[in-house]
């Protein structure tokens, strides 16, 4: 079923990114950069994440939660996800089971979303840097983008490694620092992505083909809310 795109929210058109605060000085010398979440934004990875997440309960002899309940938490740190369904003592073993299973199955069904390669190619051709800021650990995130063929289309992949996760802006800022980029837009499919982008001083683009509903995304007041990434080029 097609869903009509949701355009700019009622609070009006986003300010041009160059009018927003930059994370460092020397804006004119930095290349304009777009920051993307990974899972649910650039790649459709939900089936593989859920399969590994639920498989871990089997290894511990625990009842699986409902898939819909688990889906609602995808994008949060793994310990938070398991903590919502299991005793505290089981969180670490469940996380370990996930991390053993997922790398063996992370491309069973995962593929880039339609139009992603074309968008990333267009951005490079027009002088934009393209970086990822994900809750995944950096090693796993880089393995995933390489496995699905996105590595040549990205300038940096930044995971969340022993520092605060989204909605804190740390991973966004580190991704920008890695390429000395001037952040323009944060593009993501969750409320945490949007809040992290705002905290980093970027304009925010919510895409509705991920795990959260349009109503949930709208509550974060992104500058743009769309069902795909097609309109992003028009906003640059």
For the annotated catalytic residues, the residue numbers are 37, 39
Each as own residue / partner, the long-range contacts of residues 160-163 (CB below 8 Å, 24 or more positions apart, any chain) are 160/77, 160/134, 160/135, 160/136, 161/137
CB 37 within 8 A of CB 172: no
For the chain, state the CA radius of gyration: 17
- Annotate 50-109 with three-state secondary structure: HHHHHHHHHHCCCCCCCHHHHHCCECECHHHHHHCCCCHHHHHHHHHHHHHHHHHHCCCC
Alpha-carbon gap, residue 124 to 142, rounded angstroms: 19
Question: Coil, helix or strand for 24?
Answer: coil
């Amino acid at each position: 079923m097609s869903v009509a795109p949701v355009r700019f929210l009622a609070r009006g058109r986003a300010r041009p990114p160059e009018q927003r605060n930059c994370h460092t000085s020397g804006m004119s010398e930095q290349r304009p950069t777009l920051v993307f979440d990974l899972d649910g934004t650039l790649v459709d990875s939900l089936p593989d994440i859920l399969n590994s997440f639920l498989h871990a309960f089997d290894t511990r002899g625990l009842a699986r939660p409902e898939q819909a309940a688990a889906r609602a938490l995808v994008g949060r740190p793994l310990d938070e996800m398991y903590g919502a369904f299991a005793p505290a003592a089981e969180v670490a073993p469940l996380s370990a089971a996930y991390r053993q299973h997922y790398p063996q199955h992370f491309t069973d069904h995962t593929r880039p979303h339609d139009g992603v390669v074309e968008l990333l190619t267009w951005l490079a051709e027009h002088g934009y840097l393209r970086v990822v800021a994900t809750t995944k650990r950096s090693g796993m995130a880089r393995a995933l983008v390489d496995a699905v063929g996105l590595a040549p289309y990205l300038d940096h992949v930044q995971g969340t490694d022993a520092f605060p996760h989204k909605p804190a802006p740390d991973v966004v800022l580190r991704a920008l620092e890695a390429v000395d980029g001037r952040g323009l837009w944060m593009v993501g499919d969750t409320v945490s992505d949007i809040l992290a982008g705002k905290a980093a001083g970027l304009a925010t683009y919510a895409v509705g083909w991920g795990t959260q509903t349009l109503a949930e995304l709208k509550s974060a007041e992104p500058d743009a809310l769309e069902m795909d990434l097609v309109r992003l080029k028009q906003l640059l």
